[in-house]
Structure 1
Amino acid sequence: MFVPIIRSLAVQPKPFYFIFFLEIWERFGFYGVQALLVLYMVQKLGYQDSHADFLFAAFSALVFLLPCLGGYIGDKILGTKRTILLGAIVLSLGYLILSLPKISSRHFSLPLAFIAVGVGLFKANPSSLLSKVYEETPHNLDSGFTLYYMAINMGAAISMNLTPILNRFFGWHVAFSVCCAGMILAILNFFIMRKAIFDIGSEPDQAPFRWDYFGYVLLGIVTSVIMSNFLLNHYQIVSWLLSGGTIVLLSIYLMLIAKSAPEERKGMFLFMILFSQAIVFFVLYFQMPTSLSLFALRNVRHSILGIPIQPAQFQMLNSFWVMTMSPIMAWFYQKWHKCGRDLSLPTKFSLGTLMAGLAFLFLPLGSLYNHHGVISGMWLVLSYWLQSTGELLVSALGLSLAARYVPQRFMGFTMGLWFLCVSVASIIAGKVASIASVSAKISTDPYLSLPIYNHLFTKIGLTTVSISFGMFILVPLLKRLTENDRQMIK
């Protein structure tokens, strides 16, 4: 099943490889930092679990909101390629500051602000560039984006496996320095392979360089870093802003539904329902670098099949299972299609949410077989498999929701709504993870911390499974909300 992917990788146009390797190294840097971030705050900076969870939640919210601005800068102001390069430089600065040995807890939000702004500039533009690569061969677009998604997970898997080992033997700052080195490799890749994309890009890419525009963008970057730094130090404000923004945007969306043609309303309403369900899934997804990471540190045996691993390396299982399950699920989709038994999008969302809920229910089950408050690492392997498979059913399909059910004229607004959904989920996830906040005294005793995590995971699992069952009951109704739903799904 992996052979078609390898063959597909070998026949892509040259510009694809520029984007492929650029994305690998950018994700290498980002996920290497993400794997260690909460553990660094708790173990090195001495933060309480709840403080670390809330700060990470605010950081993640900014990471998913700011690409909306970066995409606009790439499309309308500087150009896609220039914005990618600028984002890579800002990211490198963030990783460099983070790797400084004497950075204090008081100034810890500053490198996170640089990283959030850098991701904002970078994140939306490689996919925009990739879509232009296949404008003349649209039939190859799906395979190109599949491989692009694989590049993201390759970079994540490599760094999440490497940085915890480097941290174990050489310290936190060496691990963060390697993330910075990965970003520098992305910049070198940009200059070495830039001729491959010479004639590809947005309209500003083809225009002469405008120093005045560049100056405005630099001013915007400095302002964004200052504002992000402030918000990370006052993360409650992030929660208020997102709550207000969600109310405003959903109100606008409901007005758009009311003003749309009758045949469009059903699909737009279905999008809103699945959008709400996606928030539930992403709340669980953001437990990986927060509560699940701390659970792995304190209550999981640090080995898999007898092979010693570091606690943060368990997060690598997400990328591993996504890469492993992607071709398998693609094969199943083809089989079901040939048999005329395609799964509808509401069914996939409900199934993905169910699997994510079960992923958390298996952990309290594993605690029944604990040894001195510590469970086998294989329970986390199983949990990550369930949640990663659920991710393929929800997250990977989420961005296609708008294309399926929302009129093209509302596409930009709807995509912004989707990223807002992920940002809101990250804030809720921080509040959920803080339920299992463990004091410094208890954190050293697995017997005392295990019941706290069991309580959290049981509540998450039962709530999510109940929601998924409710969605399964509504699936027939949701399928009838859109005319010609069968054709759209195909």
Structure 2
Amino acid sequence: MLAGQPRGFLAILLTEIWERFSFYGMRALLVFYLVRHFQLTESDAVGVYASYAGLLYLTPIVGGYVADRILGLRTAVIAGALLMTAGQFAMTFEDSGLAVVYLALSLNAVGNGLFKPSLSTLLGSLYDKSDSRRDAGFTLFFMGVNVGAAAAALVCGYLGEVYGWRYGFGAAGVGMLGGLAVFWLHSPAKGDQYLSREVPASHRATTGVVVVLALVASWYLLQNRQLVGILLAVGCVVTLAVLVWAAVTRLNADERTRVFTLLGFAAVSVLYWALEDQSATSINLLTHHFVDRDVLGLTVQASQYLALGPLFIIALGPAVASWWQRFELRGGATGSAAKFAVGMSSLGIGYLLLAAPALLGTDAERMSAWWLIVSYLFHALGQLCVVPICLAQVTLLAPTTWVSVLIGVWYLSVAVGIALSGSVAQLALTAESGQSTLGGYGIAFLAMAVSCLLVAVGMKMFSGKVRMIEDKQRHARGDSAKVESGGIAVERQAVCS
């Protein structure tokens, strides 16, 4: 599959693998670093992580505009990679205080805003709409992303927890530097103005000002985390109000129905991400405190268990996609809402598997690691059912001129959900000390499981109506096969993000 891909694909793939290695290396260690090195309470550390992760999904909204209208995609990728490299290496200065940590996280957040949307757009630009290589390309991209994520947890997690934090973060920095080097050395096709256009000096100055302001804002927000929640809440209210007003005044009845359906999915996605993104916080802390991490004679560091999710996705992704196709060929009625219900059920089962031993055990006992491993398996299955459908559904249901706006709404829902994940994780921590107890985790995971299963029931109840809306739109377009093919490509891109 790789040999037949267009020029530039390998460079983009390797750049993304290294960037994901860098990001997931930071993700695996951040909460432990704040708790065990800076002596923050687990509650405060979880709050820092959630605010940082929320900013990671907010900055691409502005960064994508800057990349497209001012810098150009290639320059934006390089600038973003430079900022993230600096951010990762700044984390290696362990004795410099929390102010430097907040600066490092700000560099990563702002750099990601330039890097992430630009690299994804560059990948899509390699293919014409009718290019038969697109599906294979996005499949490879999807596999590469998860390879980088799994390797990061195994390598950075081990180095950070065994040899010292600076080595774990340093390895993540080397990964980002590797991605930058690969992309920098890649020479775009001669005459390709879209990828290599010159950047006017005035634009460079403007971008510099925007980046500095964004860094200052991010640094301030990370130290005043309640403002991140306020910012997201205001953004959601304003966005929803504008979209509803525009839908009512500018769209016909059929288009309004499709837009309101997508907004409903975005709202449910907030809960999904708030519950799904617990691996770096509550599940990671549970693993450190209460799980017997010796497996098959090997002692595995808590942060290394984060590799399980990406590894299961790599192993199970093709099988899950093939199963859905066979199910539909046999006449099974699926649609986005039905798949979402299956995914939420799987996520809920994963939390039940964590809640049961936590509720039955004591703080002096250690859970078997197999509870955790099987839980990660069900969470991966849930992700494969939920995440791939969301952007593909936007491309199907959104009115033609609303696609980009509604994709932005999807990313906003991800940002809100991940920002809320900190509050969800804090359910397991005692209010007095901000630390964790096994019983607290049991209650929290049981609440998460029940929430997942209730949402799954609700989505199943509406699945028939949603399927009718989707089928009507496919029939109206008259190009069902093309929609499905394009949806597969976008689905794989969604999983990668």
Name the TM-score class by shorter chain: over 0.9
Query: Is the CA contact 1:302–1:377 (under 8 Å) kept in the aligned structure 2?
Result: yes
Q: How much does 1:342 deviate?
A: 5.4
Aligned twin of 2:467:
479
Counterpart CA distance in 1 for 2:193 and 2:145 is 21
**8 A Cα contact 2:15 2:183, kept in partner:** yes
Tell me which of 146, 149, 161 is aligned to 2:154.
Answer: 161
Quick check: 1:307 aligned with 2:295? no
Q: Does the residue aligned with 2:292 lie in a helix, a strand or coil?
A: coil
Q: For the residues of structure 1 that align with 2:315 and 2:134, how far apart are their CA atoms?
A: 21
2:340 maps to 349
| Equivalence for 1:334 | 325
Gap regions ≥5 residues in structure 2: 485-497
Residue number in structure 2 paired with 1:392: 384
Aligned-residue Cα RMSD (Å) equals 2.0
Q: Please point out which of 264, 273, 280 is paired with 2:271.
A: 280
Residues in 2 aligned to 1:356 and 1:107: alpha-carbon distance in whole angstroms? 36
* 8 Å CA contact retained: 1:132, 1:200: no
From 411, 414, 439, the counterpart of 2:403: 411
Alignment counterpart, residue 114 of structure 1, candidates 91, 107, 110 = 107
Kept in 1, the 8 Å contact 2:78–2:184? The answer is: no
Q: Secondary structure at the match of 1:81?
A: helix
**1:223–1:100: structure 2 CA closer, same or farther, 3 Å change rule?**
same
How much has 1:381 moved relative to structure 2?
0.9
Alignment counterpart, residue 96 of structure 2, candidates 83, 92, 103: 103
- Equivalent residues of 2:19, 2:179 under 8 A apart: yes
Percent of matched pairs sharing the same residue: 27
Match of 1:251 in 2: 241
Deviations 1:252-309 (A, max 9, x none): 1212321211221221121112112211110112211111110111111113333320
- 8 A contact 2:22–2:176 mirrored in 1: yes
Flag structure 1 segments of 5+ consecutive residues without an equivalent: 1-7
Q: Deviations over 1:306-362 (max 9, x none)?
A: 332000111111111111111111221332243243521110111111111111111
Moved over 4 A (4+): 196-201, 368-371, 438-443, 485-490
In structure 2, the CA distance between the partners of 1:346 and 1:200, relative to structure 1 (3 Å rule), is farther
**Alignment-derived partner of residue 3 in structure 1:** none
Which one is further off, 160-169 or 109-118? Answer: 160-169
Partner of 1:5: none
Q: Structure 1 residue aligned with 2:209, among 213, 219, 229? A: 219
Partner of 2:490: none
Distance 1:37 1:187 in 2: 22
Q: Select the residue among 54, 72, 77 that pairs with 2:70.
A: 77
Kindly state the Cα deviation for residue 249 of structure 1 after the two structures are TM-superposed.
Answer: 0.4
Q: Is the 8 A contact 1:321 1:385 kept in 2?
A: yes
- Which amino acid is 1:459 matched to? A
SS at match of 2:356: helix
The equivalent residue for 1:47 is: 40
Read off the aligned partner of 1:468 and give its amino acid letter.
Answer: A
Matched, 1:269 2:260: yes
Contact 1:80 1:201 in 2 (8 A): no
8 Å contact kept, 1:18–1:196: no
Give CA-to-partner distance per residue, 1:201-233, whole Å, 9 cap, x none: 73xx45333111011111111111111000000
TM (normalized to structure 2)? 0.91
**Which deviates further from its counterpart, 434-443 or 317-326?**
434-443
Counterpart AA for 2:254: E
Corresponding pairs, count: 476
Q: Specify the alignment match of 2:419 in structure 1.
A: 427
TM-score normalised to the size of structure 1? 0.92
Structure 1 position 453 matched with structure 2 position 446: no
Please give the alpha-carbon distance, in whole angstroms, between the structure 2 residues aligned to 1:361 and 1:325: 21
What is the CA–CA distance in structure 1 between the aligned matches of 2:21 and 2:300, rounded to whole Å?
19
2:368 alignment counterpart: 376
Return the offset for 1:438: 4.7
Determine if the alignment matches structure 1 residue 238 to structure 2 residue 231: no
Contact map agreement 2:335 2:470 (CA 8 A) in 1: no
Contact 2:160 2:167 in 1 (8 A): yes
CA contact (8 A) 1:302 1:308 kept: yes
Label 1:124 to 1:232 Cα distance change in 2 as closer, same or farther (>3 A).
Answer: same
Change (3 A) 1:249 1:216: same
